[in-house]
Structure 1
Amino acid sequence: MSMMSIRAATPRDREAIRLVEEHAFGQQTEAGLVDAIVLEGNAVLELVAEEDGQVVGHILFSRLYVENGGKQFPALALAPLAVEPDFHGTGIGGALVREAHIRLKDAGENLSIVLGDPAYYGRFGYSHDRAAGFASEYQGEALQALAWGEAPENGELVYASAFGTALAA
């Protein structure tokens, strides 16, 4: 019986992470986004899931800011979350999200933003209602937030520059 394990990503995982991202999304955009975020130094937490020594899942949280009234509040962007297609439906994605949330709360983070399927991310406490007050080019039902503590409820979301670069490519 195999055991899935979750651990912090290391530099030696870069190629495996790239492959997981490309396989999960069927394109290179998300893999390029991950590379750019890491290269810029904006990765806050990056985890991988391993099954029998093979990286089969990946999650990345990068720094973003909520700007309001001339002040910046540090927050997080969950993007991307990827699982090898052969492992979809096995709980790896959910395990990555839950483990990441534990680590982020323990590190004192207070706010996470995600752009994704409300039915999926809603299971982890993300909601559009919590994100509705944020100004963002991504504003819509898929923009969701989760707060663990004192966090702003409005302001402009300022993502790491890699989001503009990688997603424009």
Structure 2
Amino acid sequence: MNLRDERQGDREPVRTVHLQAFGDHGALVADLVDTLRGTITPDTGISLVAEDAGRVIGHIMFTPSLLDAPRRLVEVQVLSPLAVAPEYQRQGVGSALVRRGLEMLAERSVPLVFLEGDPGYYHRFGFQPGGVHGFRRPSLRIPDAAFQVIQFPAYEPWMIGTLVYSQPFWQHDAVGLRDPDN
């Protein structure tokens, strides 16, 4: 398996991975990825792929967002989304993508990375419940346990506040869980 930066020619294979990995929500996530690409520059985000024998089998994005701290807005990153082709799941592809992305962000002096996800999965990378550390979710639709954060050496104790997702997450209604009965 090879991990590398996403290239222009990877767009359709990346889209396919998200469509397959997210099932009924695949189109929403694939569209979100397409929009999030516009928020990434070499200094402000990461889009990595995992490939096997030249085939894209996994994808992860880290994109810029803001933390509304009392002192000032703080530039942070959001890990979302992460997808692995179904036939490659549970083989370490997702873990390798997460670890590589976090290593890259730590080198860039990013103070915090947030995500919405399964605590049982992301805890192994050092993510912890955001609320326990004084961070507030950007939406009440995000379950407390799913709202997670990892702190890097650039973090300072005054950097506490509310996560403000970048506009594409709101545009695609990809924040938290919707109640299908309402």
TM-score (normalised: structure 1): 0.90
Instruction: Supply the RMSD in Å over aligned alpha carbons.
Output: 1.8
3-state SS in 2 of match to 1:57: strand
Cα 1:61–1:156 change in 2 (3 A) is: same
Question: Corresponding residue for 1:165?
Answer: 171
Residue ranges of structure 2 left out of the alignment (5+ in a row): 175-182
Identity of aligned residues (%): 34
- Is residue 2:148 matched to residue 1:144? yes
- Is residue 2:37 matched to residue 1:38? yes
Shift of 1:153: 5.1
Alpha-carbon contact 1:48-1:58 (below 8 Å) kept = yes
Question: Corresponding residue for 1:68?
Answer: 69
Shift of 1:107: 1.6
3-state SS in 2 of match to 1:97: helix
Cα 1:96–1:40 change in 2 (3 A) is: closer
Alpha-carbon contact 1:111-1:146 (below 8 Å) kept = yes
Residue ranges of structure 1 left out of the alignment (5+ in a row): none
Question: Corresponding residue for 2:57?
Answer: 56
Structure 1 or 2: more strand by fraction: 1
Q: Deviations over 1:61-99 (max 9, x none)?
A: 010110122611111100000000000111000000111
Cα 1:133–1:139 change in 2 (3 A) is: farther
Alpha-carbon contact 1:131-1:143 (below 8 Å) kept = no
Question: Corresponding residue for 2:115?
Answer: 114
How many residues in Structure 1 have an aligned counterpart in Structure 2? 165
Alpha-carbon contact 1:133-1:153 (below 8 Å) kept = no
Q: Could you tell me how far apart the structure 2 residues matched to 1:141 and 1:153 are?
A: 20
